[in-house]
Amino acid sequence: MRRVIPWLGGVGLLLAGYVAGSWQAFEPRSLWAQGAADTTPDLSTDAQTKIRAAADALRSAADALINDQRLTPATKGLNTFAILSGGRNVVEDLENGAIVDPETYAALYADLAVDQVAVHLGRDENNRLTYKGKVIRIYPVKFLMDRYRSRSELTGEEFSPSPVNSARSKSSPKDSDEE
């Protein structure tokens, strides 16, 4: 009898595990950190009309920059950053070090590269996007600031650094309080 009880206990645990597994009682539940992206925003007809008009104007500006050989996009669609800052040869930027503007960077990661660029895209051992083996990076901050200055001159928009962004200031907020 003493030998039967451990065997019965083992068989009982095995059956309990089988039954629990059959019912999927302990199966992990799917967790969703973010809901599905809403690809169709609820915009008024007026807003949609103005967005289409802006896109048409940007497309026209892009065509003029391409004709003037001031814009060579590396991605499909309009690159508003390059267009509004006066154009950019983004394919050349990729060739000369794989450093691009933020909008191109995002579009490349979204798999929107033009065919001549897409054939040279890959991933490195850290799963970072590469162009001809070079990791694709965003322009340095100083260059981005220069591009925004060009954009400001062309569009009339006024850009100034945020006074509350202490991460970009030359001195710490503590130093400026003491003066």
Q: In this structure, is residue 163 part of a structural domain?
A: no
Q: In this structure, is residue 98 part of a structural domain?
A: yes
Residue with tokens 């996009």: 73
Please give the pLDDT value at position 176.
43
Q: In this structure, is residue 26 part of a structural domain?
A: no
Q: In this structure, is residue 66 part of a structural domain?
A: no
What Cα–Cα distance (Å) separates residue 151 from each residue in 60, 148, 158, 161?
17, 5, 9, 15
Please give the pLDDT value at position 17.
77
**Burial class (CB within 10 angstroms; exposed 0-12, middle 13-18, buried 19+) of 95:** middle
Q: In this structure, is residue 108 part of a structural domain?
A: yes
Structural domain including 122 reads: 71-154
Q: In this structure, is residue 174 part of a structural domain?
A: no
Q: In this structure, is residue 90 part of a structural domain?
A: yes
If one counts every other C-beta atom within 10 angstroms of the C-beta of residue 17, the result is 11
Distance CA 115, CA 147 (A): 26
Please give the pLDDT value at position 26.
63
- pTM for the full predicted model: 0.66
Based on the structure, what is the number of domains in the chain? 1
Please give the pLDDT value at position 31.
54
Q: In this structure, is residue 175 part of a structural domain?
A: no
pLDDT tens for the 179 residues of the chain, in order: 677 777 778 878 877 777 777 776 666 665 555 555 656 678 889 999 999 999 999 999 999 999 999 999 999 999 998 999 999 999 999 999 888 999 999 999 999 999 999 999 999 999 999 999 999 999 898 988 889 889 888 988 887 777 776 666 554 444 444 43
CA dihedral (124, 74, 139, 59) positive or negative? negative
Distance CA 48, CA 41 (A): 10
